Amino acid sequence: MVPTRTWLLTWTTYGAWLPGDPRGFVSPVVTESGSRELHNRYGDRYDADMPGLARYARSAMKEEPVRLTPEQAGAVAVQFRETAAVRGWHLPALAVMANHVHLVVAAGEATPTGKLIGDFKAYSARRLNAEFGRRERWWTERGSGRLLPDDRAVGRAVAYVLSQERPLVVWAAG
C-alpha cells in the first residue's frame, strides 16, 4: 500500500473572492520586513481586509467574475469525483459553492499539492467549457492546499466541508 497524505483543498471561482477581501483570503502577502508570506498551513489564520490589495486585484481582472449555477456546480462535483477515481485519489468530501470549492483528498505521499489542485481545476474547467460555453478562466490562478496532520484534523476538515453555508453541492464518500 502506498503511503498517503490528506489535504484540504480550497480555491475560488475567477474574480469572485479576491485577495484583500474582508472575508479572508489565502494569497501571498508582503510583511512589514518586505518579504512575501503565504499563510497556508493547517492552523494558520487567514489574512483579511486589505483594501489596496483588493483594488489592485480587481483592476487586473481580464474577464467578468464567475458565480457557478446549480447546474454548473453539479457538473463540477461529478468531474471532481471522476478525476479522483482516475488518479487513484480518495475523495472523502467535497462542497461546491457559487464562488468557491472545498475538497478533502488523500493522495500518494509523493503527489505535490499543485498536481492535486491543478488536475481538479483543469478537468473541471474542461467540463464547464464543454457543457456551458467557453471561458478563458473559470477558477483563480492558485488555490490553498492545507496538509492535514492527523486523523483528527481529517475528521474536522470533512465536517467543515460538509457544513458549508449555502452550498450548491455537498457530497461525502459512503
pLDDT in tens, 84-93: 999 999 999 9
Q: What is the largest CA-CA distance in the chain?
A: 49
- For residue 75, give every residue at least 6 positions away whose Cβ sits within 8 Å of its Cβ, in sequence order, or none: 124, 127, 128, 131, 132
* CA within 13 Å, CB half, 128: 25
Within-domain flag for 8: yes
Question: Do 94 and 161 contact (CB within 8 A), yes or no?
Answer: yes
Beta pairing, strands 90-96 & 169-172: antiparallel
0.85 surpassed by pTM: no
Q: Which residues of the chain carry a pLDDT beneath 50?
A: none
CATH number assigned to the domain comprising residue 148: 3.30.70.1290
Instruction: Tell me how far apart the alpha carbons of residues 114 and 91 are, in angstroms, rounded to a whole number.
Output: 16
Q: Residue 60 has what pLDDT?
A: 74
Phi-psi region of 95 (alpha: psi -120 to 50; beta: other; left: phi over 0): beta
Within-domain flag for 59: no
Within-domain flag for 110: yes
Domain that holds residue 90: 4-16+65-172
Domain count, the chain: 1
Our measurement of the distance from residue 86's CA atom to the centroid of its chain's CA atoms, rounded to an integer in Å, reads 19
- For residue 101, give every residue at least 6 positions away whose Cβ sits within 8 Å of its Cβ, in sequence order, or none: 9, 10, 11, 76, 80, 94, 95
